């Protein structure tokens, strides 16, 4: 009887082992997919509209670049990009939204440099380095320090001297913690000792409108966001935050002409980029990167960048991440040394850029 039972149970046991092995294999494949490894997902991508989440409001450099590029990318990827502005918390609302969506490549973050400072400013736990993968760093730009055309300040020295003699009398419009104006203010404070009262707005569009309406005395935005106002005579750009004048506005002096000590922070500036969730399948990331690269490479889009005073980059992969890392190191340590951060860059293993 025992021998007969053994003969019956042995085949059943073998079947169970085969079933368990198959389940284990399927589980391993699922884990590979969730870790972002290529799994053929790009063959049918995109399966629906791609949501492009813009981390700033309408009218700023990020918005202009994103909406100009989107229709060109649509032609390359044979899909639709639905663009949405989600401003707030220096872009952290949009960043968290993209992070919370499925990691399938159908939600992209059109962002700037701001998430590089979220951790040291304790705005958000999100970071490009830990939570996202670059599809493309599209271009970089320069910050310009601007006032209204009827402002009494004719030069950057006029502005700084007034701020030194009357600390906090002037209102400097910002785009919130971690925004470009805050980094420029940290430069001025660290090296020149100037102090301003600050008022935050939800992006470059709103802050330039505030300057136009006389709500603030001065602000700093990307050259692309200010260029039309400067050329129309509404604004005066006192300096570009660079170590030499730029082609888009050759008559505007570099800030180092007046204050060479700021050169140690340069090159630094805002950038425009597209990111996906870190767990997006690798083959989808590759397909997206190739589509964006082709779109950015077109003469039509290159002309847009030139007109906006932006420098063409069009880099992806590790080269893009290295660039983002260098930008983070410069800005994080600059704000930390100005006493503007909640936490030290060292807590997040952010290296200090050698002077």
Considering the domain architecture, whether residues 219 and 133 belong to the same structural domain is answered as: no
Same domain membership, residue 90 and residue 194 = no
pLDDT for the residue 20: 43
In a domain, 342, yes or no: yes
107 domain residue, yes or no? yes
Q: According to the model, what pLDDT value does residue 196 have? A: 96
**pLDDT tens column, 322-342:** 999 999 998 999 889 888 899
- The answer on 166 and 107 residing in a single domain is no
Final residue before a domain boundary, out of 265, 291, 322: 265
Asked whether residue 331 falls in the same domain as residue 252, the answer is no
Work out the average pLDDT over 27-47: 59
> For position 308, which CATH number holds?
3.40.190.150
- Place 27 in a pLDDT band, splitting at 50, 70 and 90: very low
Do residues 147 and 131 share a domain?
A: no
- Tell if the pTM clears 0.95, that is, is over it: no
Residue 18: pLDDT over 80: no
Long-range contacts, 42-45 (Cβ 8 Å, 24+): 42/281, 42/283, 42/284, 42/286, 42/287, 45/105, 45/284, 45/287
State the average pLDDT over residues 192-200. 94
Sheet of 235-240, strand order: 197-200, 171-174, 218-222, 143-148, 235-240
User: Distance between CA atoms of 90 and 179, rounded to whole angstroms?
Assistant: 6
Q: Which residues have C-beta within 8 Å of that of residue 285, sequence separation ≥ 6?
A: 36, 105, 133, 135, 276
CB 212 within 8 A of CB 148: yes
Residue whose entry in the numeric block shows the structure tokens 């083959």 = 283
Q: Which pLDDT does position 284 carry in this prediction?
A: 97
What's the pLDDT at 128? 97
Does residue 10 belong to any structural domain of this protein?
Answer: no
151 shares a domain with 259: yes
pLDDT computed for residue 22 by the predictor: 45
In a domain, residue 2? The reply is no
**Model pLDDT, residue 175:** 85
Q: Which range is least confidently modeled, 54-63, 213-222, 270-279?
A: 54-63
Looking at residue 39, what is its pLDDT?
58
Least confident of 27-31, 118-122, 199-203, 285-289: 27-31
CB of 143 closer than 8 Å to CB of 240: yes
Residues of the chain above pLDDT 70, percent: 88
Residues contacting 178, CB < 8 A, separation 6+: 90, 91, 114, 115, 116, 117, 118, 121, 123
Comparison of pLDDT for 7 and 57, the residue scoring more? 57
- Let me know: does 274 contact 109? Beta carbons within 8 Å: yes
Q: What is the CATH number of the domain that holds 195?
A: 3.40.190.10
Higher pLDDT, 303 or 14: 303
In a domain, 244, yes or no: yes
What pLDDT was estimated at residue 40? 77
Closest CA to 192 of 161, 217, 236: 161
Is residue 168 over pLDDT 50? yes
Q: Say what the pLDDT of residue 354 is.
A: 64
Q: How confident is the prediction for the chain on average, in pLDDT?
A: 87
Would you say residue 183 lies in a domain? Answer: yes
Query: Is 122 a domain residue?
Result: yes
Check whether residue 185 and residue 328 sit in a common domain: no
Last residue of a domain, one of 216, 243, 265: 265
Residues 153 and 200 both lie in one domain: yes
The answer to whether position 35 is within a domain reads no
Choose the final residue of a domain: 207, 238, 265: 265
Q: Are residues 51 and 100 in the same domain?
A: yes
Shared domain for 182 and 131, answered yes or no, is no
Count of structural domains, the chain: 2
Instruction: Indicate the helix (H) or strand (E) that contains 110.
Output: strand 107-111
> Domain check: are 209 and 292 in the same one?
no
Domain that holds residue 251: 143-265
CA 1 to chain centroid, in Å, comes to 74
Are residues 214 and 186 part of one domain?
A: yes
């Amino acid at each position: 009887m025992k021998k007969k039972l053994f003969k019956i149970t042995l085949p059943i046991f073998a079947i169970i082992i085969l079933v368990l092995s198959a389940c284990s294999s399927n589980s391993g494949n699922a884990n590979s997919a969730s870790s972002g490894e290529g799994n053929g997902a790009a063959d049918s991508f995109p399966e629906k509209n791609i949501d492009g989440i813009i981390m700033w409001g309408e009218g700023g450099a990020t918005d202009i670049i994103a909406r100009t590029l989107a229709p060109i990318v649509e032609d390359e990827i044979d899909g639709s990009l639905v663009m949405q502005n989600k401003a707030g918390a220096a872009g952290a609302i949009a960043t968290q939204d993209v992070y919370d969506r499925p990691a399938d490549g159908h939600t992209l973050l059109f962002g700037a440099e701001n998430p590089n400072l979220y951790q040291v400013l304790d705005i958000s736990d999100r970071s490009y380095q830990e939570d996202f993968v670059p599809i493309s760093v599209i271009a970089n730009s320069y910050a310009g320090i601007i006032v209204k055309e009827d402002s009494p300040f004719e030069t950057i020295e006029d502005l700084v001297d007034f701020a030194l003699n009357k600390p906090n009398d002037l209102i400097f419009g910002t785009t919130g913690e971690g925004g470009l104006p805050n980094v420029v203010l940290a430069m001025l404070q660290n090296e020149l000792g100037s102090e301003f009262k600050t008022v935050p707005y939800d992006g470059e569009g709103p802050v330039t409108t505030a300057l136009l309406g006389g709500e603030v005395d001065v602000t700093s935005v990307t050259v692309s966001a200010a260029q039309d106002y400067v050329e129309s005579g509404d604004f005066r750009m006192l300096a570009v935050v660079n170590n030499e004048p730029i082609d888009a506005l050759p008559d505007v002096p570099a800030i180092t002409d007046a204050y060479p000590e700021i050169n140690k922070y340069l090159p630094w500036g805002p950038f425009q980029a597209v990111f996906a969730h870190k767990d997006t399948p690798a083959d989808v990331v590759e397909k997206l990167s190739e589509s964006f690269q082709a779109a950015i490479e077109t003469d039509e889009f290159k002309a847009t960048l030139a007109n906006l005073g932006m420098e063409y980059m069009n880099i992806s992969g590790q080269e893009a991440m290295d660039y983002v890392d260098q930008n983070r190191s410069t800005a994080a340590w600059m704000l930390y040394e100005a006493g503007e951060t909640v936490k030290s860059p060292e807590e997040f293993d952010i290296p200090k850029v050698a002077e």
